[in-house]
Every structure is written in C-alpha cells, then in structure tokens.
C-alpha cells in the first residue's frame, strides 16, 4: 500500500442546501423561508435570473440577471481555482520531498522515532485527509487551506522515499507523463457527453478492492509481475477517478456559484484535495510501471 492510497475526501459530496435548491433563512415563526427562486438553466443568449424575496416582513426585494456567457465564465473561474489549489499542493509536496531527500530528514526521523514514528506519520496523514474532507464546508477558508498545505507537506515528507528507490531521471520523466495524462483526462471529462458521475459508487468499490488486493498480494505473491498488474489496475482506476472528480468539481461549483466567496473557497479546497489525491496516486502507480530502479 503506497502512502498516496489514503481515504479520499468527501469526493461524492452532494451539497445540501445549495443556492437555488432549498437554501433559506429563518422566518419569524422559525420555519425555513426560500431565499431565492431560480429559473431553468440558461441557454446561450438567454438571461440567468433570480429574484430575492423578503423575509416574513418582506424586508427587501432584489433582482438580478446573468447572461449565459457570464455564468459560464464564473463556473470556469471557479473550476480553475480548484485546479490552482491542487497545483500549489503538488508544488508543496515536490518541494518538501526534495528538501527531505537532500537533508536526510526522513532517515533521521525514523532513527529517532522508530516504527512508532512511521505509524504516527501515516495516521496523521489519514486523519488530516478525513477531517478536511468531512469538515471543510464548516471551516474558515484560511484554516482549510492551511490544513490542505500541511497535508501536502506531510505527503512530500513520506514520498521522499521514492528517491531511494528510483532514479531521478525516471522520476522526472514519469512525473511529466502523469501531468500530460492528467491534463488530457481532465479536458476529455469536461468536454465529453459521457456522465462519469454515475460511476462514483463503482469507482469507490474498485478503490477498496485495489487496496485490499495490494495488501494481500504483498504477503501472498510479492513478485514484480504481481506488483505491475496491481499498478496497471491502479492507473486505470485513478484515470477514472480523475474524470469523475473533474465532472464532480464542475457540478459542485454550479450548485454553489451564488453562495458567496467564502463558500466557493471552501469548495475549492474540497475539490482540490480530491484532484490532488488522484494525481499523486496515478503518479505512484505509473512510477511502479515505468520507473527505473536504483
């Protein structure tokens, strides 16, 4: 089991109370009153309109209209924000991994803490991923962003071990292949008519089967052929995960596009975490397939 294979964030998160669906505010009698009423999704050239309604006392009424182009631009900007957060996380991971390898920090950490230190490090990573995925929508955006970067740094600390196993040339080469593959999958998922979000449960079951199979086969049949078969299955699985999360990111942003900047920032971190885990896991499996060992 590689360090990257950790519980994903709430990748199948279906936002509740999303604006335009059932968002509201308390009325005088304590009931939930609808705050917005949305028209159907706009088509090109038609306005995207909503009308604010006053509370129980009819305190205010506002109207606004957005064109198809404005809505599309806003969604594109939001999705770009998530991929930007993911990229920063990957840069943090790479920087920490290189620094750890250059200074021998991981080796000294293991000498000082032994097996308990390694276990504690893994537990800390899993806990951060779970807490961030479950609680991100209730956190301050700055707190969520810091936790994501801390998680990325811890991942880089543990992934520094790949420099002891593979040559630097092969690591750089596989990283470039992974980046191009990830970009191609993203572009395909955002332009294809195939709805990958329907395959979410299947992909999650596949992930569980992959992790269990890898752990079992490490003890039953720990051969190079077995590891390569597992790695090939991992690449296929996380290619599907990448396409699923790309489409899911667009769906979540579409639901929250009018929820305000703070909510958009929280959603960006949630989506960035899922995309980050897809990239890291796919990179590790590609490295097992094509990396040249020392």
pLDDT in tens, 222-273: 777 888 889 999 999 999 999 999 999 888 888 887 777 788 888 889 899 9
Report d(CA 126, CA 158) in Å as an integer.
13
Per-residue pLDDT, 145:
92
Mean pLDDT across the stretch 103-132? 87
The helix-helix angle for 68-103 and 261-290 (nearest 10°) equals 50
Q: Which two tokens stand for residue 139?
A: 């956190």
Q: Classify strands 24-26 and 36-38 as parallel, antiparallel or unpaired.
A: unpaired
Most distant CA atoms of the chain, gap in Å: 73
Q: How far is CA 116 from the centre of its chain?
A: 29
Which pLDDT does position 9 carry in this prediction? Answer: 46
Residues paired with 34 in a beta bridge: 24
Q: How far apart are CA 218 and CA 168, in angstroms?
A: 26
Q: Assign 74 a pLDDT band (cuts: 50, 70, 90).
A: low
pLDDT interval class at 75 (50, 70, 90): low
CA torsion sign for 143, 144, 147, 148 is negative
What three-state secondary structure class fits 293? strand
* pTM of the predicted protein model: 0.73
Please state the domain extents for the chain. Answer: 75-290
Q: Answer whether residue 122 shows pLDDT above 70.
A: yes
- Going from the C-alpha of 160 to that of each of 66, 94, 121, the distances in angstroms are 48, 9, 13
pLDDT of residue 29 exceeding 50: no
């Amino acid at each position: 089991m590689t360090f990257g294979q950790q519980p994903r964030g709430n990748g199948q998160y279906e936002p509740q109370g999303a604006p335009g669906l059932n968002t509201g505010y308390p009325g005088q009698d304590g009931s939930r009153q609808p705050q917005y009423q949305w028209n159907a999704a706009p088509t090109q050239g038609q306005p995207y309109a909503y009308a604010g309604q006053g509370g129980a006392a009819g305190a205010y009424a506002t109207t606004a209209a957005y064109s198809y182009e404005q809505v599309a631009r806003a969604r594109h900007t939001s999705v770009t924000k998530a991929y930007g957060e993911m990229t920063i996380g990957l840069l943090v991971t790479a920087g920490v991994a290189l620094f750890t390898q250059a200074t021998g920090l991981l080796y000294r950490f293991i000498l000082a803490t032994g097996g308990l230190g390694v276990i504690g490090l893994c537990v800390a990573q899993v806990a951060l991923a779970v807490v961030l995925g479950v609680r991100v929508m209730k956190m301050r955006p700055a707190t969520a962003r810091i936790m994501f970067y801390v998680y990325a740094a811890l991942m880089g600390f543990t992934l520094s071990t790949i420099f002891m196993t593979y040559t630097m040339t092969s690591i750089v080469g596989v990283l470039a292949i992974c980046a191009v593959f990830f970009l191609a999958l993203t572009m395909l998922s955002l332009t294809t008519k195939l709805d990958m979000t329907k395959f979410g449960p299947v992909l999650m079951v596949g992930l569980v089967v992959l992790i269990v199979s890898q752990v079992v086969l490490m003890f039953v049949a720990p051969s190079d052929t077995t590891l390569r078969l597992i790695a090939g299955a991992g690449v296929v699985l996380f290619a599907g995960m990448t396409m699923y999360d790309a489409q899911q990111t667009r769906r979540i942003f579409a639901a929250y596009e009018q929820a305000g900047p703070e909510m958009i920032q929280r959603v960006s971190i949630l989506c960035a975490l899922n995309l980050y885990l897809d990239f890291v896991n796919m990179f590790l499996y590609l490295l097992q397939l094509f990396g040249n060992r020392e």
